[in-house]
Structure 1
Amino acid sequence: MERIYDDALNEEIYINSYSNGLKAFVIKKKNFSKAFAGFATKYGSVDGKFVHPKTKEVVEVPDGIAHFLEHKLFEEEEGNVFDRFAKFGAMANAFTSFKETVYYFISTQNFYENFEILLDFVQNPYFTDQNVEKEKGIIGQEIRMYQDNPNWRVYFNLLNALYVNNPVKIDIAGTLESIQKITKEDLYLCYNTFYHPSNMIIVVCGDVDPQKVFDTIERMEKTREYQSLIERIYPDEPENVNQKKIETSLSVAMPIFYIGFKDNQNDLPPYEMIMKDIQTQIVAETLFGKSTDFYEMLYKEGLINQNFGFEYNCEPEYSFFMIGGESKDPEEVYRRIIEHVEDVKKKGINREEFERAKKVVLGNHLRKFDNPEKISVEFIYSYFKGVNIFEYVKEIASVSFEMCEKRLREFFDENTSCISVVWPADKKNSVME
């Protein structure tokens, strides 16, 4: 067991490695009443094409299979895993993202009993032809529900506008057609490939005994033969956006929109990924933060409301920035954002705004450490990118004004931008599906 103490954050983390390739981390939080435990695999919706680690053959599976697999792991021969967690007072759940699948629970009592349940069910899949067929109907309903969800729709429409080939544009749950192709054999193939301990980590955060956590894992870990690194195959992606505008109509009171900027500086070493991420967040805060004159102006004009916000998604295979919310005139907001970016490029970033933005980004990062769930999930995201989340404070401090000026000019470009809008259903204009 290795212990690392971070003086700047006053945080301690314990690390243990296992013979089967699994790694476990305990973020010790003294006097916290709530504890989080997550069992995560570096496997998400974009990993539909890969080289089989044993046969070395290229395998391509149906879209949505990572999410389907997440659903099925909660089903056991004797019943449902949620019932086991409920018995010990834990809230359990899971999520599939583009790059990860995470199974977790949060509890204020019976931590080790719940921890054993987590370790048990994630390592013991139970798939049958019958329960796979049954799940297709359940997930099909979920896909239909999300298709009618305006926030989900505007988001994935934006990704379809940004990307030509990258699978990040495909709905995490897949499509009604793709899930019908999923078989029990597909699920076991993907489970045995991506749920190998060498491709997984366990993260615990709370006032727990690290040694007891690590001993529990060692007692319950499954022996697996060595597996080489998984080679994932992604299609080539051009630098241009797929389309400049994508629109649809749904039952909303006010138009919902996202404006996206496609980032073509990808496949960087971990340190450069950290710096690119931080610089983009700082630049965005100087441009669009709630304390800026630009935000105030749009707000006073009634072009945006309190739901206006932005985020940056930074991965080795794709990165994109998105900004949006609700507006009576999304196209005018888009025009004003592009105009504002070009104006700041000419005049330069205000130094006082830069210093303020650095403090905001630092504060946003530090607040995560007060929430066991947020810091654990952030830790998982960062770890799978080869990045140490505890390094962020030091790296935020090291970001210079000149770095952000350079990032502004390199990244925020009208030519790699697009807009997605969901209009109210009674909008008279014709829209593109």
Structure 2
Amino acid sequence: MNKVHYEALNETVYTEVLENGLRVVLIPKDKYSKTYGIFTTDFGSIDNQFVPINGDKEIKIPDGIAHFLEHKLFEGEDHDAFEDFAKYGASANAFTSFTRTSYLFSATDNIAENTNSLLDFVQDPHFTAEGTEKEKGIIAQEIRMYEDNPGWQLFYGLLRNLYPEHPLSVDIAGTVDSIQAISPELLQICYDTFYHPSNMNILMIGNFVPEEMMETIKQNQAGKTFLPAKPIRRTLPPASIQDIIPYKEIEMDVQRPKVMLGVKGLDTDVTGNQAEKYKIYGSLLLELLFGRSSTHFIELYDNGLIDDSFGYSFNLDRSFHFMAVESDTEEPKLLEEKLKRILLDWETDANLTNEKFDLLKKSMIGEQLQAFNSLEYIANHYSTLLFSGAELFEVVPLIEETSLEDIRRFAQGYLKEQSMSTYVIVQKGAMQQ
């Protein structure tokens, strides 16, 4: 096992890559009673075009299949995985994102048994025609529920504007139509390609002895056979300004209009610490311009253009990154104009001062250190960063070394009008004819 100790954070991380390619990360925390385990594959909703592990030709799979596969893995041949975890006093869950699928449990006892349960149910798929058809009905209901959610529609509406040719613009669960094309055979192809141990990691954090935990995982994996590992060849559309849809407006049953303005990033090859720097730069820039203490927030709020729904985020993952600013408002067009002007006039903005920047940076460091008290936060973020080559416990030094000049250089390359798009939801009957 490789051991790294982070003195400033008093955190120790043990890692090892097993013979089958599975990366194991162990973070012992003997002052905690709970242990949290997460088993993650580098496969999400945007991975819909790839060469299968046993093939030589690229295929395109139905949207939503990664999420569908997540649901189906809990269903064993004669029972479901939740029964195993319940037997050993654990709670279990799973989630699918644009780029990852994770399976997890938390428990205070029977940690070795629960770890084996986690590895076993994910690595023992059981796909049938009957089970697949039944699942289509369940997931279709889930999709329809979100179709009626204005906040959900606002977010995906913006993504459709920014990424009209990218699978990012499709709901992670797919569409009611797309999931009808999912079959047991396609589920097996996706499973064989993306659930190979070499495309996965397991992270355990909590109260355990690392040597014993590593041995538990090694013994579990030694009793299983897998296809030979191969590099995964997947295809995603290149980032482009030309395909951006600058503006879209729809009607829904909302009390007040909703506005979301986005800025699309184009350099999509950022990975590792560079990706983490982008997150820091984008987040600090948005906080300087739109934070509760900024002059812009106060002016927009006092003038009634925004309310307590106002928010902003910088989103970055494999193959994409973008900014988003949103609020409910009675004057969507005026708010759009104000937000654009704030972003485009950043160079002379009075909020970008060293004094404000230093305060925000200290606040970000404090929030990050506070987050390290959560086993769930560490596990979820660490397991995701592993695929990009970054280390979670190195993020605080990256924040510390960030300067206001870094933020300015980032803004110079990022905030372009041609990279912006706005999505608006207005009340039914309010759209201009």
Q: TM-score, normalised by structure 2?
A: 0.94
Match of 1:326 among 317, 322, 328: 328
Alignment-mate amino acid for residue 20 of structure 1? N
1:238 aligns with 2:231: no
1:411 positional shift: 0.7
2:404 maps to what in 1?
Answer: 401
Contact preservation (8 Å) 1:20, 1:225: no
Alignment check: 8 A CA contact 1:165 1:237 kept: no
Matched, 1:59 2:59: yes
Residue equivalent to 1:173: 173
From 285, 288, 292, the counterpart of 2:287: 285
Note the 1:226-375 alignment, pairs <5 A.
Answer: 226-240=228-242, 242-347=244-349, 349-375=352-378
The yes-or-no answer on 1:187 pairing with 2:190 is no
Instruction: Spell out, residue by residue over 1:219-264, the C-alpha distance to the aligned partner (whole angstroms, 9 max, x if none).
Output: 2113323212101111233223531222223333333332110011
The DSSP-based 3-state class of the residue aligned with 2:372 is helix
Q: Is the 1:15–1:25 contact (alpha carbons within 8 Å) kept by the matching residues of 2?
A: yes
SS across alignment from 1:125: coil
CA distance in 1, matches of 2:369, 2:331: 35
Find the residue that maps to 1:409 and give its secondary structure. helix
Aligned residues: 430
Residue 191 and residue 298 in structure 1: after superposition, are their counterparts in 2 closer, same or farther (change >3 A)? same
Unmatched 5+ residue regions in structure 2? none
* Local SS of the residue matching 1:204: strand
Q: Could you tell me whether the CA contact under 8 Å between 2:165 and 2:243 is conserved in 1? A: no
Identical pairs, percent: 37
Match of 1:420?
423
Does the Cα contact within 8 Å between 2:259 and 2:336 map onto a contact in 1?
no
In structure 2, the partner of 1:69 is 69
CA contact (8 A) 2:239 2:267 kept: no
Q: Which amino acid aligns with 1:183?
A: S
**Aligned residue for 2:392?**
389
Shift of the alpha carbon at 1:124? Answer: 0.4
How far apart, in 2, do the equivalents of 1:277 and 1:210 lie?
31
Name the CA distance, whole Å, in 2 between partners of 1:87 and 1:149. Answer: 36
Partner of residue 9, structure 2:
9
Report if the CA contact (8 A) 1:257-1:327 is conserved. yes
Q: Aligned letter for 2:49?
A: K
Q: Give 2:334's aligned amino acid.
A: E
Amino acid at match of 1:263: G
Amino acid at match of 2:199: N
Change (3 A) 1:205 1:179: same
Secondary structure of the equivalent of 1:324?
strand
Residues 8, 164 of structure 1: alpha-carbon distance in 2 compared, 3 angstrom cutoff: same
* Contact 1:164/1:238 (8 A) holds in 2: no
Contact 2:36 2:376 (8 Å CA) reproduced: yes
Aligned with 2:379 (options 376, 379, 385): 376
Partner of 1:35: 35
Aligned to 1:200: 200
Give yes or no for contact 2:36–2:204 (8 Å, CA) kept in 1: yes
Distance 1:9 1:228 in 2: 37
Deviations 1:131-175 (A, max 9, x none): 011111111111111111222111111100111312111111111
Using the alignment, how far apart are the partners of 2:110 and 2:335 within structure 1? 51
For each residue in 1:30-68, what CA deviation from the matched residue of structure 2 results, as whole angstroms up to 9, or x when unmatched? 312332110100000011111223332212111111111
Q: Aligned partners of 2:35, 2:293: CA distance in 1, in Å?
A: 35
Alignment CA distance shift 1:316-1:74 (3 Å): closer
SS in 2 for 1:137: helix
Question: Does the 8 A contact of 2:312 with 2:323 survive in 1?
Answer: yes
Paired with 1:109 and 1:325, the residues of 2 have a C-alpha distance of: 45
State how far apart, in whole Å, the 1-side matches of 2:211 and 2:119 are.
16
Q: Which amino acid aligns with 2:259?
A: F
The separation in 1 between residues aligned to 2:136 and 2:432, in whole angstroms, is 34
Distance 2:204 2:413 in 1: 39
User: Do residues 145 (structure 1) and 145 (structure 2) align?
Assistant: yes
- Paired with 1:366 and 1:240, the residues of 2 have a C-alpha distance of 41
Distance (whole Å) between structure 1 residues aligned to residue 327 and residue 106 of structure 2 = 31
Q: Find the counterpart in structure 2 of residue 120 from structure 1.
A: 120
Question: Gapped runs of 5+ residues in structure 1?
Answer: none
- RMSD across aligned C-alpha pairs, in angstroms? 1.8
CA gap of 1:191–1:150, structure 2 versus 1, over 3 A, is: same
SS of 1:176's equivalent? Answer: coil
Aligned-residue offset at 1:403:
1.4
Displacement of 1:347: 4.5
1:159 counterpart residue number = 159
Could you tell me which amino acid in structure 2 is paired with residue 364 of structure 1? E
Distance in 1 separating the partners of 2:103 and 2:132: 20
Equivalence for 2:99: 99
Give, in whole Å, the separation in 2 of the partners of 1:277 and 1:220: 37
Shift of 1:316: 4.1
Where 1:246 maps in the other structure, the secondary structure is: strand
SS in structure 1 of the partner of residue 15 of structure 2: strand
